[in-house]
Amino acid sequence: MKTFFFTPESPRSLALVRIGVGLLFLYEFGVRWPYSVELYSSDGLPMPFFPGTLLEPAALGWLPTSALHAALLFALLAVTIGWYTTPSLLIACLISTWLGLLDGPGTFNKYSVIGLHLMMLLSVSRCGWAWSVDALVDRRTSCHLAAAWPRRLIQLFLCNVYLGAAITKLRMAHFMTGDLVEFSLLDNHWGCTAFGLWLFEHRELLGPASVATLVFEFSFPVLVWIPRLRWMLLACAAAFHVTIGMALHLGIFSPLMLVSLLAFVNDSDLSRLRILPTPDSSTTDDGRWRRRSLLIYVTLFCLWLVAALVYRQYQESYKGRDSIELATADGNVVETMLLEQKPAYEDYFHRFEIGSRINGFRTSGETQQFQSGMTVHGLARLADNHPSLDLDWLLIAADGREAARLSKTLDASFAYATAGFELTEELPPGQYRIILMADGYEVARKSFQLEPRH
């Protein structure tokens, strides 16, 4: 254990993590800079992640909020180039936490929490000793080795992320069936990518992909420590996150996880890459450049802050907005519109399918041609958070008459509804339909051909 945590090693792999995290968060908060007043200040409409608790930071006015956001961008830029790395990491971590907690829906999410942990762990490391301005200013740091424990903590943190994700998925009743992935691929906000829609068209892949995800997330925290399997696990992790990035809109989550995986790259691996040479440590300085570097850092920070606030002050969008008066709709017109509107019961249903067999939460077997003596099964998958519904399953014969009806009440806690119709000899051959109705409204129908038994 002592060797695992305290063996001296080069900080080059953590320097790569530092550069990647700095660039990604610089982009993330850079695109939010034009909207910082609306998102984080009391002059906008902040939506705290923990409203009404001690964890809710106070929303400041537009001027201090703009100053904080500008200071965060400067700190992230300094983190990327490794300039006063530890103070810059601490500043970036504190301000991004403050702003993130003020914008729960957009800023404070899974990847921002992962990034905050990485910045906190990097701040106690020597990641600024390689490929950085700090190493150029003080060449003495470029030849130093550092204890391995910050990199080990990042590795253990990533293993915990995978293990926690696997346990969470395992507790979801609909993940193993592929339904959760299917919902995500069709989500207007997270999904609907070109690759995601292709996956949706090949639903037979979603179930195996869900199982493979669980296998990977459970096996990575264990097998990655085996030297012979390390690169294979890292390649699987990289392919996993690239696939997620292509299938879903998750912001910088996939790039951030790819950057985090660099913590598992050893210095011996980097030494084999000639494009990443070991920093030169042939010269040292007498301290003058370190003092000058601090002066330049503080001066540029002040100039950056002044320029950002001047830009914000004279930005046209914050000079004031003309109020827009909305006309009040006539109450009778609104009431008529609501009365004429059909309840959107179909929005509660995700899919409706039929088959000759039912296996768990899927139908299989024959779906178009049935023979007398067989049973046709219907299965409906409902979206989560639906109300209790009175369901009616109607079997309609070729002549339009109702051949059979099954009724049941579906509790709000259930996500699946099933029904089975036995196709007896008394039913004449022809084109049949199964109609699903909820509270008296038709929500779905499927047709099949009933053939006489040969």
pLDDT at residue 243 tops 60: yes
Specify the residue for token string 């790259």.
Answer: 265
- Which CATH code fits 345-451? 2.60.40.1930
pTM tops 0.85, yes or no: no
Q: Are 80 and 26 in contact (CB under 8 A)?
A: yes
Own/partner long-range contacts of 39-47 (Cβ < 8 Å, ≥24 apart): 39/99, 39/102, 39/103, 39/106, 39/107, 40/65, 40/68, 40/69, 40/99, 40/102, 40/103, 41/65, 41/66, 46/102, 46/103, 47/102, 47/103, 47/104, 47/105
Tell me: pLDDT of 425 over 80. Answer: yes
DSSP letter string, 283-300: ----SHHHHHHHHHHHHH
Between CA 375 and CA 367 the distance in angstroms is: 11
Dihedral sign for Cα atoms in the order 172, 173, 175, 180 = negative
- Mean pLDDT value of segment 83-95: 95
Domain boundaries, the chain: 2-313, 345-451
Q: Could you report the per-residue pLDDT of 265-300, keeping only the tens digit for each?
A: 998 888 777 655 555 544 445 466 677 888 899 999
Q: How many residues in the chain?
A: 454
- R_g of the chain, CA atoms, integer Å: 30
Determine the pLDDT at residue 288.
66
**Average pLDDT over every residue of 340-344:** 61
H/E element, 21: helix 12-30
Strands (E), 88-185: 146-147
Provide, rounded to the nearest whole percent, the portion of the chain with pLDDT above 70: 90
Rounded CA-CA distance 92/99 in Å is 11
Residue 115 pLDDT > 90, yes or no?
yes
**Letter string b/e over residues 110-122, b meaning 16 or more CB atoms within 10 A of that residue's CB:** ebbebbbbbbbbb
Alpha helices in 314-361 (DSSP H): 331-340
Rounded mean pLDDT of 54-59? 87
Return the higher-pLDDT residue of 300 and 342.
Answer: 300
pLDDT above 90: percentage of residues in the chain: 44
- Residues 117-165: tens digit of each pLDDT: 999 999 999 998 888 898 888 766 555 788 899 999 999 999 999 999 9
Tens of pLDDT, residues 352-391: 889 998 877 778 888 889 988 889 999 998 887 788 999 9
From 55-59, 349-353, 450-454, the region with the lowest mean pLDDT: 450-454
Distance between CA atoms of residues 427 and 329, nearest Å: 55
By mean pLDDT, which of 2-6, 55-59, 112-116, 257-261 is the weakest?
Answer: 2-6
In DSSP terms, 409 is beta-bridged to 390
Condensed to tens digits (0 to 9), the pLDDT of residues 301-337 reads: 999 999 988 888 776 554 554 455 667 777 777 777 6
- Confidence (pLDDT) at 229: 95
